[in-house]
Amino acid sequence: MTAPCPTTPPPAAPRGLRWLDHTCDEPADNLALDHALLEAAGAESDYPEVLRVWRPATPMLVLGRSSRVAEEVDEQACRGDGVPVLRRVSGGATILTGPGCLMYAVLLNLEKRPELTAVDRAHQFVLGVLIGCLSGLAPGVRCAGQSDLVVPDGDRLLKFSGNSLRVARRWLLYHGTLMHGLPVEDIAKYLKHPPRQPEYRDQREHGRFLTNLTADADALSAALRRGFGADEDFTNVPTALMERLATEHYRDDRWNLQR
């Protein structure tokens, strides 16, 4: 049975994460860096836990690991406007991201937090931290569905954040997006109506279901850094591994368009 979404932060938020505010020049490299952090951590015995944020400079579609292009993407519109279609290493549905989104990734050690090997517990833990640190910027913020963050709008809930995860042998990668200025009208242009959706969506079109927060990227970034206790900077960016993964996967349509 699926555990309920959290409405309050966990009693003991993580502390001591390293902070990485790093946006790569190429869209594919930004996905590759999240993946590289997960792989680098698995290869070392004393790797730190990390909170990364980045800000996409151009629009991009990001498929979930098992998403099907034909079901979720308007390929003709993407080709016509030069919007890249990429695929991340984690699950979930396809998203449009770009300017007006703050992207984040949390790398957590499962040997220190073994309870997070359960997917429901992982969602509850990370989303609970996010709810706690965003409550001052997003009044009424709560979780809905499996891993969405929403704010109330009358008797409806509007989504501003989608999140997904990848569990490795000793590490958890949890990442997502916070919308604060993404043109909602562009979403319907490039994304089809999703084949799978949470009940609370109630079949609403993208424009009636999604919203932007009023806080800017800097305020959201600072709130996340405080909420996750990421006081020290992370400087050992795995750039060589990122480059290899970008070449092998994220710049290659055999990976991106495989389904």
Mean pLDDT confidence for 216-238? 96
pLDDT for res 7: 67
Rounded-to-integer distance, Cα 251 and Cα 256, Å: 8
pLDDT for res 193: 86
Q: Looking only at Cα atoms, what is the longest distance across the chain?
A: 49
Task: Look over the chain and give the mean of its residue pLDDT values, rounded to a whole number.
Answer: 92
Mean pLDDT confidence for 233-241? 95
- Percentage of residues in the chain with pLDDT exceeding 90? 80
Q: DSSP H helical segments within 115-256, as ranges?
A: 119-134, 184-190, 206-209, 217-227, 239-245, 253-256
Mean pLDDT confidence for 186-214? 90
Q: Does residue 1 have a pLDDT over 60? A: no
Q: Return the top range by mean pLDDT from 4-18, 80-94, 190-204.
A: 80-94
Nearest to 176 by CA among 248, 111, 93, 83: 93
CB 140 within 8 A of CB 151: yes
pLDDT for res 3: 56
Q: Does residue 156 have a pLDDT over 60? A: yes
CB 233 within 8 A of CB 227: no
Mean pLDDT confidence for 188-207? 89
CA 155 to chain centre: 26
The alpha carbon dihedral of 196, 118, 172, 51 has a sign of positive
pLDDT for res 112: 93
Place of tokens 């931290």: 129
Mean pLDDT confidence for 217-221? 97
pLDDT for res 11: 66
Nearest to 88 by CA among 165, 23, 187, 167: 165
Q: What are phi and psi of 26, to 5 degrees?
A: -100, 140
Domains of the chain: 18-256 (3.30.930.10)
pLDDT for res 4: 62
**Beta-strand pair 18-21/50-54:** parallel
Mean pLDDT confidence for 185-209? 89
pLDDT, tens only, 25-78: 999 999 999 999 999 998 888 899 999 999 999 999 999 988 899 999 999 999
pLDDT, tens only, 83-102: 999 999 998 889 999 999 99
Burial of 11 (0-12, 13-18, 19+ CB in 10 A): exposed
What DSSP designation does 55 have? -
